[in-house]
Amino acid sequence: MNAVKVKPPKHLKDLVSFFWYSDFKNPDNSAKTYRILADGLPGIIFQHSNGNSAVSNVNGVQLPITFLYGQNTSHCTNLITGEPFIFGVSLRPTAFKSLFGMDATMISNQLIDSQHFFSSDIEDILLNAKSPIHIIELFSKRFLNLKSRPENTGFFDKYLNHSVRGIRNLSANQIFSDLGISRRQFQRKFKEHVGVDPETYYRILRFQKAIHLLLRGDFKKLSDVAYQLCYSDQSHFIRDFKYFSGLTPNRFLKNGLLNKHISFDKEDFFTPVRLLEC
C-alpha cells in the first residue's frame, strides 16, 4: 500500500492532523490481513470496492463503509479484500470533543457508523465524489459546519504537541500549576477531551516514538531505544511495545511495514504508524 498524505488547510489544523488515501492492490481478490496499531489519534475511514465494504474484522463481520474510530489502547486485526479505495482522516487528539461536543471516551476502543455523527446521506455523497481532493473538500465543509468548542482545548493541544516533541509525561505537576487545576481535575478533563487518561496517552506516544527510532535505525541495540525513551529497562520497553502492537520490537522489524513515510514537522505532530501487514 502506498498511501498519499495531504496536509489539512490552515483553518482545519486544530481539528485534522492529515488526510490520506490509497488504492490497495490485491489482484487475486483474496483477503489480506492487517494489524491496526495504537497511534494516539481518533479518525474517520471511508472505504469501498464498487460501493461495498471491503474491510472486515477477524470474525468476518464487514465494517461500515464510513466509520469513526476513537483512541485505541491496544491493537486489532482487520481483513481487506480485493482492490478497494480507502480514504482516512487522522484527527487531532481533541477533535472528537471539539466537533461533536461529546465525551471522547464514548468512542475509545470502538468504531461507530458515521451516520450517527453526520447526516444520513454522507455515504452516498462520498461514493459519488469525483476524486480524493473532492472528498477532502466534502469532509472539510462538514467539519466547519460541525465545529463547536464548548470548552477551550488549547492548553491540551499545547501540552500534547510539546509532549510529542519531548516525550514529557503529561501528568507532570508543572502542568497542573500552569492550568491552575488539581491533578484529579486535569486527568478527568484530559480523558474527556482525548479519550484516554494522560498516562495511557503518554505510553502510546512513547510506543509510536519507538517505532520511528526502530525504522530510522537510530540504535545499535534495543536497550539504546529503551534508554532514549526513558523506559526503566529493556524488558519494560519490550513489554509495552508488544502490548500496543502484538509484536516484539525484533518481530516488528521483520514484518513488512506498510506506512514507511516518516516525517517530523517542527510545528506539527509526527506522522504515526497505524497499519502493518501481517
CA distances from 208 to 95, 205, 213 (A): 20, 5, 9
Q: Quick one: average pLDDT of 100-117?
A: 92
Considering the domain architecture, whether residues 79 and 110 belong to the same structural domain is answered as: yes
Considering only residues 183 and 153, tell me which one the structure prediction assigns the higher pLDDT: 183
Q: Give the tens place of pLDDT for each residue, 65-93.
A: 999 999 999 899 999 998 899 999 999 99
Strands across the sheet containing 16-23:
4-6, 16-23, 85-91, 43-48, 66-69, 111-113
Mean pLDDT of the chain: 83
Considering the domain architecture, whether residues 216 and 250 belong to the same structural domain is answered as: yes
Given 123, 146, 169, the domain boundary residue is: 146
Most confident of 18-32, 176-190, 215-229, 239-253: 239-253
Considering the domain architecture, whether residues 9 and 140 belong to the same structural domain is answered as: yes
Considering the domain architecture, whether residues 116 and 168 belong to the same structural domain is answered as: no
Q: Which three cell numbers stand for residue 16?
A: 485534522
Q: Which residue, 25, 111, 106, 30, is CA-closest to 63?
A: 111
Q: Give the tens place of pLDDT for each residue, 221-238.
A: 888 999 989 898 999 999
Structural domain boundaries, residue 228:
154-277
Residue 225 makes CB contacts below 8 A (sequence gap 6+) with: 210, 213, 214, 218, 219, 237, 249
Considering the domain architecture, whether residues 178 and 267 belong to the same structural domain is answered as: yes
Given 146, 168, 203, the domain boundary residue is: 146
Measured distance CA(275)–CA(273) in Å, rounded: 6
CA distances from 89 to 19, 22, 147, 185 (A): 5, 12, 15, 30
Considering the domain architecture, whether residues 18 and 110 belong to the same structural domain is answered as: yes
Considering the domain architecture, whether residues 138 and 160 belong to the same structural domain is answered as: no
Considering the domain architecture, whether residues 268 and 179 belong to the same structural domain is answered as: yes
Q: Which residues pair with 86 in a beta bridge?
A: 22, 47
Considering the domain architecture, whether residues 135 and 163 belong to the same structural domain is answered as: no
User: For residue 262, how far is the Cα from the chain centroid?
Assistant: 15
Q: Which residue, 36, 20, 49, is CA-closest to 78?
A: 36
Looking at residue 184, what is its pLDDT? Answer: 84
For residue 57, pLDDT beyond 70: yes
Q: Which three cell numbers stand for residue 59?
A: 470474525
Considering the domain architecture, whether residues 183 and 85 belong to the same structural domain is answered as: no
For residue 260, pLDDT beyond 90: no
Considering the domain architecture, whether residues 184 and 210 belong to the same structural domain is answered as: yes
**Which region among 9-13, 131-135, 271-275 has the lowest average model confidence (pLDDT)?**
271-275
Q: Quick one: average pLDDT of 137-158?
A: 73
Looking at residue 269, what is its pLDDT? Answer: 43
Considering the domain architecture, whether residues 48 and 121 belong to the same structural domain is answered as: yes
Could you give the number of structural domains in the chain?
2
Neighbour count for residue 235 (Cβ, 10 Å) = 11
Q: Quick one: average pLDDT of 182-205?
A: 88
H-helix or E-strand containing 48? strand 43-48
Strands across the sheet containing 76-81:
55-57, 76-81, 31-36, 275-277
Given 146, 164, 187, the domain boundary residue is: 146
